[in-house]
Amino acid sequence: MPDDVLWGYEHFINPSLARTYRFMGLDHAEVTGEGALVVDDEGQSYLDLAGGYGVFAQGYRHPRIIAAAHQQLDQMPLSSRVLVSPPQVALAERLASLTPGDLTYSFFCNSGTEAVEAALKIARGSTGRRTIVATTGAFHGKTYGALSVSGRELYQAPFLPLVPDIRHVPYGDLTALAREMSEEVAAVIVEPIQGEGGIVVPPDEYLPGVRALCDQFGAAMIADEVQTGMGHTGWLFAVEYSQVVPDLLCLAKALGGGVMPIGAVVGRPWVWRIFDENPLIHTSTFGGNPLAARVALEALNVTVEERLPERARELGDWLISELRALRERYPEVLASVRGRGLMIGLEFHQAGFAGMVMAELFQRHILAVYTLNNERVIRLLPPLVVERAQLEEALMAFDQSLAAVNAVKDELA
């Protein structure tokens, strides 16, 4: 069966992607999943340390989330968009109560990139300004606006020209940001921890500093929590660690509970004035549909009631220290281990080392992937329901994989 599936990728989806899967030995087809495990067509289980790139915070097929989906599916999956829709309101209310400060209003869409598009439009529209300041290494998505504020040329070059009036400054650098600030700046967009940039944790004063500069110049602060949101960092929203309230908070990925695609941008009242004159100034046909909204509400409730952020913090502190101990054993392979909670990056001295560790882990039935804007970093974003015993097994697999790379590192270099 995997050969058929790869053949299908080759002929009907993306031939080059099919070659990449083959090259990496990823020739097994997924069939189902449960908790932190994915199961293939031969019944073999894999521990998913990549967590679907952050989608499966609550695990695969969480029973409560699946039940909510079934119930809404039987009742009313999509909205007439003429009558008002109760599940959308219930989700928006819950987001208003769980997000920090006076983040109050929600706009719903279907993905992370759409949440970023909405935030950029709301920021420009509500300030009447054009300039957006973003950071190098950032990843915000691949539609035009989100791509324009992302910070890697590789994904931009074939598609020029991008959205104008975007400036990039180094991530984590408040002095550089201050130099770009003026009364022409509509917004500063940042990830609280850069995900695809290589799990880059900024200095503690960074987010409060971004907030202060936005306040000083009347710009909106956009926190892109598409990857950091929903508990992975040890907080429901990563901005809580810094006690910062952004003007716009973007969510997607794990908001859908590993069951439905959904994106959201939550905003403070002053930016929502963009909708005053025309409530339909920005819309999405499927955004906030009842099925996705009901599932997202259950995903939020599960995350809070099962104390998944706290679990991420405890397991993460322990896992990071164990991985750092491995770094001591293989210092010529593994350069650093960093992160917060269960959002962890392992930086290798060379991209080839990261690639080989991924392949070695896969042989040991562990899924881990590198970050899009930094191929030297393997990122761990496991389901937060992962068992400590599963992580202990993963550590053994890491040890063996690092040893294998260590043995051939001179040939790989």
Catalytic residues: 139, 224, 253
Under the binding rule (CB under 6 A), the answer on residue 139 touching ligand PLP is yes
Interface region with ligand PLP, contact rule CB under 6 A, candidates 77-85, 109-117, 289-297, 355-363: 109-117
Cα 161 to the chain's mean position, in Å?
26
In the complex, least distance from residue 112 CB atom to ligand PLP, rounded to whole angstroms: 2
> What angle is formed at CA 363 by the lines to CA 359 and CA 365, rounded to 5 degrees?
110
Beta partners for residue 345, in sequence order: 338, 379
The interface mask with ligand PLP, positions 16-55, x = CB under 6 A, is -------------------------------------x--
**Is 206 one of the binding residues for ligand PLP (CB under 6 A)?**
no
Show the site string, 235-274: x = touches ligand PLP by CB under 6 A, - = not. Answer: -----------------x----------------------
Cα–Cα dist 322/82, whole Å: 54
Q: In whole angstroms, how far apart are CA 65 and each of 59, 109, 259, 336? A: 10, 19, 7, 36
Residue with Cβ nearer ligand PLP (142 or 324): 142
Q: Does 191 bind ligand PLP (CB under 6 A)?
A: yes
Sheet bearing 334-340, strands edge to edge: 334-340, 343-348, 374-380, 369-371
User: Which range binds ligand PLP by CB under 6 A, 108-116, 181-189, 324-332, 399-407?
Assistant: 108-116
Alpha-carbon distance of 360 to 46, in angstroms, equals 13
Residue range at the interface with ligand PLP (CB under 6 A); choices 14-22, 80-88, 111-119, 319-327: 111-119
Structure tokens at 327: 């770094």
HSE, CB side, 13 Å, CA atoms: give it for residue 193.
30
Q: Number of C-alpha atoms within 13 angstroms, CB side, residue 23?
A: 8
Please name every residue paired with 161 in a beta bridge, in sequence order, or none if there are none.
none
Judged by CB under 6 A, does residue 112 bind ligand PLP? Answer: yes
Q: Please, which residue, 72 or 373, has the CB nearer to ligand PLP?
A: 373
Please work out the total of residues on this chain that contact ligand PLP, with binding judged by CB under 6 A: 15
Q: Is 111 in the site for ligand PLP (CB under 6 A)?
A: yes
List, in sequence order, every beta strand (DSSP E) within 252-326. Answer: 263-267
Which pairing describes strands 369-371 and 374-380: parallel, antiparallel, or unpaired? antiparallel
In whole angstroms, give the CA distance from residue 328 to residue 334.
8
Closest CA to 106 of 124, 88, 123, 120: 88
Least Cβ distance, residue 52 to ligand PLP (angstroms): 10
In angstroms, the CA 404 to CA 245 distance is 45
Choice between 122 and 356, CB closer to ligand PLP: 122
Options 106-114, 175-183, 326-334, 362-370: segment touching ligand PLP (CB under 6 A): 106-114
Kindly state the helix (H) or strand (E) to which residue 118 belongs, with its residue range.
Answer: helix 112-127
Among 220-228, 292-300, 353-361, 389-397, the segment contacting ligand PLP (CB under 6 A): 220-228
- Residue found by looking up tokens 């496991």 in the block: 382
How far apart are CB 155 and ligand PLP at their closest, in Å?
12
User: Does 196 sit near ligand PLP (CB under 6 A)?
Assistant: yes
Give 172 or 349: the residue with its C-beta nearer to ligand PLP.
172
Which residue of the chain is nearest ligand PLP when measured via CB?
Answer: 112
Which residues bind to ligand PLP, rule: CB under 6 A? 53, 111-113, 116, 139-141, 191, 195-196, 224, 226-227, 252
